[in-house]
């Protein structure tokens, strides 16, 4: 199984109306997490990511969503408590929220393009990755390459479960015939990577153990209203 669910943020007024309805139904630990965010956009990203996961597993396991509990490792990677064979990962940036599901460890990252950030590569990328980026003649294409590589690295670290505690230069990617593969890594090489075309202005990458076709689904706020309210 390899599934990718996506959601586009709605305006603050529409979300706030939904939030006032759903918050009384949320378990205390989840409500506390959502309420910890100051800005409504951050509340929406976090809440929707969790609701997508609850909806997915409620349907998959045929159980009430209130029976599903989240657990977090020491690096804050979430998992479903008591369900060792079910894996998911959430990412959000800008107006995008994405969640990936698999039978094996998985990581996903979506990033909004926020200008030219190639200088960051000198701090976090390997010399071979920097050389590959600079070998691209068009500067705009170099910027795109940077974001694609950045999301690949993030997805890999999230799949492993160490997050940003893992050095970005402790592993490297190499592009071969439109596919990215690990050139080296101390954390294991047996991973598959996907970098599908995404919304304009965004890059997305997914790292997983199983190589298969991704089943994509767009989630609307109305879908969540019908399920949770």
Q: Are residues 58 and 23 in the same domain?
A: yes
Q: Are residues 59 and 135 in the same domain?
A: no
Q: Are residues 4 and 91 in the same domain?
A: yes
Q: Are residues 48 and 75 in the same domain?
A: yes
pLDDT for 172 = 96
Q: Are residues 129 and 170 in the same domain?
A: yes
Q: Are residues 152 and 224 in the same domain?
A: no
Q: Are residues 3 and 79 in the same domain?
A: yes
Q: Are residues 57 and 137 in the same domain?
A: no
**What is the value of pTM for the model shown?**
0.94
pLDDT (tens digit per residue) in 100-148: 999 999 999 999 999 999 999 998 899 999 999 999 999 999 999 999 9
Range of the domain at 79: 1-103+213-229
Q: Are residues 2 and 99 in the same domain?
A: yes
129 and 121 in contact (C-beta within 8 Å)? yes
pLDDT (tens digit per residue) in 155-206: 999 999 877 778 888 899 999 888 899 999 988 899 999 998 899 999 999 9
List the CATH number of the domain containing 98: 3.90.470.20
Q: Are residues 161 and 219 in the same domain?
A: no
Q: Are residues 20 and 45 in the same domain?
A: yes
Q: Are residues 95 and 116 in the same domain?
A: no
Q: What are phi and psi of 180, to 5 degrees?
A: -95, 135
pLDDT (tens digit per residue) in 57-97: 999 999 999 999 888 887 777 889 888 889 999 999 999 99
- Number of structural domains (the chain) is 2
| DSSP for the chain, written as a single string | -EEEEEEEPPPHHHHHHHHHHHGGGS-HHHHHHHHT-SSHHHHHHHHHHHHHHHHHHHHHHTS-GGG--EEE-TT--EEETT-TT-EEEEEEETTEEEEEEESS-EEEEEEE--S--GGGHHHHS-HHHHHHHHT-SSHHHHHHHHHHHHHHHHHHHHHHT-GGGS-TTSEEEEEETTEEEEEEETT-S--EEE----STTEEEEEEESS----EEEEPPHHHHHHHH-
pLDDT for 144 = 93
Tell me how far apart the alpha carbons of residues 86 and 80 are, in angstroms, rounded to a whole number.
7
């Amino acid at each position: 199984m390899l599934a990718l669910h996506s959601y586009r943020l709605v305006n603050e007024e529409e979300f706030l109306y939904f939030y006032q309805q759903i918050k009384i139904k949320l378990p205390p630990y989840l409500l506390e997490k959502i309420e910890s965010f100051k800005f409504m956009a951050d509340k929406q990203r976090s809440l929707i990511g969790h609701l997508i996961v609850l909806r997915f597993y409620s349907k998959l396991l045929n159980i009430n969503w209130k029976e599903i509990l989240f657990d977090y490792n020491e690096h804050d990677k979430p998992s479903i408590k008591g369900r060792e064979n079910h894996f998911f990962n959430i990412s959000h940036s800008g107006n995008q929220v994405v969640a990936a599901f698999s039978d094996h460890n998985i990581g996903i990252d979506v990033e909004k393009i926020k200008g030219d950030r190639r200088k960051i590569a000198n701090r976090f990328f390997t010399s071979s990755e920097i050389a590959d980026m600079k070998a691209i003649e068009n500067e705009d294409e170099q910027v795109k390459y940077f974001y694609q590589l950045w999301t690949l690295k993030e997805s890999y670290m999230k799949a492993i479960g160490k997050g940003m505690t893992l050095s970005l230069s402790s592993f490297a990617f190499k592009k071969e015939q439109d596919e990215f593969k690990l050139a080296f890594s101390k954390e294991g090489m047996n991973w598959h990577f996907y970098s599908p075309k995404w919304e304009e202005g965004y890059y997305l990458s997914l790292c997983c153990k199983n190589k298969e076709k991704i089943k994509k689904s767009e989630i609307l706020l109305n879908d969540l209203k019908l399920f949770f309210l």
